[in-house]
Amino acid sequence: MLEDLQGRCSMKNLSVHRADTEEDALNLLFIGDTNRVVSETPKNDASTRSHCIFIIDIESGQMGSDVRTHSKLHIVDLAGSERVYKAGHDDEKIINEAKNINGSLF
């Protein structure tokens, strides 16, 4: 996350996609899931190494009316917090990655 001089925050590598149908939304969720990074640890063959945020923004209204209703649902899946010594890591790169993931959870 980056903060500019005016205090506005932004994040890198995010994308926004419109889904007009349930099928479109499920396809986007599937694409996000397949793009997640996983790696093997001694305790878990497919440990996720990333966070996933899926925001559903719904707008609805009646035909012929200017009144609109907006709702937002945030679904957040955080990478697991790992205790390096319990996970059995000995690779320096993996240890640093786990430390960075743990730090980002705070």
Q: What DSSP string describes 55-75?
A: EEEEEEE-TT---EEEEEEEE
pLDDT for 79-100, tens place per residue?
A: 655 555 555 556 677 777 767 7
Q: CB of 10 within 8 A of CB of 1?
A: yes
Is 29 in a helix, a strand, or coil? helix
In this prediction, residue 36 carries a pLDDT of 74
Q: What average pLDDT does this structure show over 11-17?
A: 78
Q: CB of 51 within 8 A of CB of 76?
A: yes
Measured in degrees and rounded to the nearest 5, phi and psi for residue 105 equal: -70, -20
Q: How far apart are CA 76 and CA 52, in angstroms?
A: 6
* Residue 87 neighbours by CB under 8 Å, 6+ apart: 41, 42, 43, 44, 98
Q: What average pLDDT does this structure show over 11-36?
A: 85
Instruction: Reply yes or no on whether the pLDDT at 4 is more than 70.
Output: yes
pLDDT for 49-75, tens place per residue?
A: 667 777 888 888 998 999 999 999 888
